[in-house]
C-alpha cells in the first residue's frame, strides 16, 4: 500500500454513520469501477451503534486499500470528511456518501477531469445533463431545490448543484484551502468553493438513486444547521456563527418569557410575580438550548448542568444591567426619545442589541469557557486509525 510520501492516484473518503448494510456493497462496487487506478478508501465513522466501523475494519484486514477511522467523541459530516482528507495520500481526493445514492460509476470521469488539470473541483451533479433524481418524493425534491436556490442567492455561486455531497478535488487545492475550511460547516463542498481562491469548477451529471438500506439523516435540525451554514459562509467573516445561534436562542427565550408571563397573569397571579415567572422560565429555556445547541462543544453534563444554570442566570443579570444602562443613558442625554413611541422603541432595541452582545461575550468567556472549576471540558476528539 502507498504511503503519504509517494501517494496513490485517488483517495475516496466515505463519512459514515449507521451504514453497516451498505458499506461492504459500496466498497465492492468501488473496487470494480476503480480497478484501473491505484486507490485507497478511507471510511470515517462516528462510532456507529450498528458497528459500521467494525465492518469496515474487518474489510481492511482483507484489503490493505481500506482504512478505517473510528471517531469516538466527535460527530458531524464535514469534520468527518476533513479527518479523512488529513489521513489521505491520493493526488486526487474524492468525497461521497456511503448510502449508495451517489453513482460510483462516474468516479473515473470525475477523477480524470481533475487529474487532467481541467478543474480544481469536479462535482457529481443532479442538475446538469444526464443528472436527476430516482424515486424521490415531491417534498424531498422541493426541499432540495429550495436549498440549492438559497445557496445560489446567498453565496452567488454558479454551481448548478451546490448541495451535492459527491465531488472530487485536487490535493493542491485541498492543501491551499484546508486551513480556511470550517470543519463544523454543514456542506463541505460549499466550504471548499466559497473559502477557496476562485476555483475552476466542472459538473458531471448523475442520477441520484433511492436508498436501499438504512434511514435518511435529513431532519429539522439538519435544515437549521444548513441555514446557519449559509449565514456563516456569507457573513461569517464579521458575524460569528455561534453569535447567530445565540441570538436565535435569545429570541425563542423571549417568546417563552412572554407566553409564560401571559399564562401566569391570566390566572390572576400578581403582575410582578408573573414577570418573575416569565423571566425565570425564559432564562431556563435559553440556558437549556444554548447548552445543547450554541455551546455544545462545552456542554454541561450531570450535576454541573445546574451549576451552569446558576452561573448563566447570574451572568445574564449583567447583560440586563448593560441593556438598561444603555437605554437610561440615551434617555438622559436625549430626553425627546420618550415623546414618540417609535423613538422609544428604537432606543429600547439599541439597548437590547448592546445587551445581546454583552451577554454573548460574557457567556462565551465565563459561563461556557473560562471557569475551569465549573465547566465541563470541551469534547475531546479521539481518532483511532485501523489499517
Residue 74 has pLDDT above 50, yes or no: yes
Say whether both 184 and 262 belong to one domain: no
Residue 220 has pLDDT above 70, yes or no: no
Say whether both 53 and 187 belong to one domain: yes
CA distance 243 to 247: 6
pLDDT for 155 equals: 58
273-282 pLDDT per residue, tens:
877 787 788 8
145-198 pLDDT per residue, tens:
666 666 666 556 678 887 788 999 999 999 999 988 877 656 788 889 888 888
| Structural domain includes residue 265 | yes
- Answer with the one of 238, 259, 289 that is the final residue of a domain: 238
pLDDT for 61 equals: 94
pLDDT category of residue 326 using cuts at 50, 70 and 90: confident
DSSP state of 367: I
Say whether both 224 and 348 belong to one domain: no
5-23 pLDDT per residue, tens:
568 999 999 999 999 999 9
Say whether both 256 and 162 belong to one domain: no
pLDDT for 34 equals: 96
Q: Return all residues near 231 (Cβ < 8 A) that are at least 6 apart.
A: 154, 239, 241, 244
| Structural domain includes residue 382 | no
Say whether both 201 and 261 belong to one domain: no
Rg (CA), the chain: 25
**Is the Cβ–Cβ distance between 228 and 162 less than 8 Å?**
no
Residue 386 has pLDDT above 60, yes or no: no
* Residue 324 or 52, more confident: 52
* Residue 373 or 114, more confident: 114
| Structural domain includes residue 376 | no
| Structural domain includes residue 385 | no
Domains held by the chain: number? 2
Residue 221 has pLDDT above 70, yes or no: no
Residue 2 has pLDDT above 60, yes or no: no
pLDDT for 294 equals: 81
Residue 365 has pLDDT above 90, yes or no: no
229-276 pLDDT per residue, tens:
666 666 555 567 677 788 888 888 888 878 887 888 788 887 678 777
Say whether both 215 and 251 belong to one domain: no
Q: Return all residues near 178 (Cβ < 8 A) that are at least 6 apart.
A: 82, 85
Say whether both 22 and 150 belong to one domain: yes
Whose CA is closest to 225, among 171, 294, 142, 285?
A: 294
| Structural domain includes residue 89 | yes
> 487545492: which residue's cell?
173
pTM of the full structure: 0.64
- The rounded percent of the chain whose pLDDT value lies above 70 is 74
Question: Around Cβ 331, how many Cβ atoms within 10 Å?
Answer: 17
* Residue 312 or 6, more confident: 312
The domain of 90 spans 10-238
Any idea which of 35-44, 296-305, 371-380 has the lowest mean pLDDT? Answer: 371-380
Average pLDDT, the chain: 80
- The rounded percent of the chain whose pLDDT value lies above 90 is 32
- Answer with the one of 212, 238, 264 that is the final residue of a domain: 238
CA distance 249 to 163: 26
CATH number of the domain that residue 165 is part of: 3.90.550.10
pLDDT category of residue 313 using cuts at 50, 70 and 90: confident
| Structural domain includes residue 76 | yes
| Structural domain includes residue 357 | yes
pLDDT for 187 equals: 78
Say whether both 100 and 144 belong to one domain: yes
| Structural domain includes residue 43 | yes
Say whether both 233 and 252 belong to one domain: no
Amino acid at each position: 500500500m502507498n504511503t503519504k510520501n509517494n501517494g496513490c492516484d485517488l483517495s475516496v473518503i466515505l463519512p459514515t454513520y449507521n451504514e453497516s448494510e451498505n458499506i461492504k456493497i459500496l466498497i465492492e462496487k468501488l473496487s470494480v469501477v476503480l480497478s484501473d487506478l491505484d486507490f485507497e478508501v478511507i471510511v470515517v465513522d462516528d462510532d456507529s451503534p450498528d458497528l459500521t466501523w467494525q465492518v469496515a475494519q474487518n474489510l481492511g484486514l482483507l484489503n490493505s486499500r481500506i482504512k478505517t477511522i473510528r471517531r469516538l467523541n466527535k460527530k458531524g459530516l464535514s469534520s468527518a470528511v476533513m479527518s479523512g482528507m488529513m489521513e489521505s495520500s491520493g493526488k486526487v481526493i474524492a468525497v461521497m456518501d456511503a448510502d449508495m445514492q451517489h453513482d460510483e460509476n462516474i468516479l473515473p470521469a470525475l477523477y480524470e477531469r481533475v487529474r487532467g488539470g481541467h478543474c480544481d473541483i469536479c462535482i457529481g451533479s443532479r442538475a446538469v445533463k444526464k443528472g436527476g433524481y430516482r424515486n424521490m418524493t415531491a417534498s424531498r425534491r422541493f426541499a432540495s431545490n429550495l436549498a440549492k436556490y438559497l445557496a445560489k442567492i446567498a453565496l452567488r455561486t454558479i454551481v448548478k448543484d451546490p448541495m451535492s455531497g459527491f465531488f472530487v478535488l485536487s490535493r493542491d487545492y485541498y492543501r491551499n484551502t484546508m486551513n480556511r475550511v470550517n470543519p463544523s460547516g454543514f456542506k463541505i463542498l460549499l466550504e471548499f468553493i466559497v473559502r477557496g481562491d476562485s476555483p475552476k469548477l466542472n459538473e458531471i451529471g448523475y442520477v441520484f438513486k433511492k436508498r436501499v438500506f438504512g434511514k435518511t439523516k435529513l431532519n429539522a435540525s439538519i435544515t437549521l444547521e444548513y441555514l446557519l451554514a449559509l449565514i456563516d459562509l456569507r457573513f461569517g467573516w464579521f458575524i460569528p456563527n455561534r453569535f447567530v445561534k445565540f441570538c436565535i436562542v435569545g429570541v425563542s427565550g423571549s417568546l417563552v418569557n412572554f407566553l409564560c408571563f401571559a399564562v401566569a397573569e391570566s390566572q390572576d397571579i400578581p403582575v410582578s410575580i408573573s414577570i418573575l415567572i416569565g423571566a425565570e422560565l425564559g432564562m431556563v429555556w435559553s440556558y437549556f438550548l444554548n447548552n445543547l445547541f450554541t455551546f455544545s462543544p462545552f456542554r454541561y453534563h450531570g450535576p454541573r448542568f445546574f451549576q451552569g444554570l446558576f452561573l448563566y442566570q447570574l451572568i445574564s443579570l449583567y447583560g440586563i444591567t448593560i441593556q438598561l444602562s444603555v437605554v437610561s443613558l440615551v434617555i438622559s442625554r436625549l430626553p425627546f426619545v420618550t415623546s414618540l413611541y417609535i423613538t422609544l422603541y428604537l432606543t429600547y432595541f439599541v439597548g437590547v442589541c448592546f445587551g445581546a452582545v454583552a451577554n454573548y461575550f460574557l457567556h462565551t468567556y465565563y459561563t461556557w469557557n473560562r471557569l475551569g472549576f465549573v465547566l465541563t471540558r470541551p469534547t475531546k476528539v479521539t481518532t483511532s486509525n485501523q489499517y
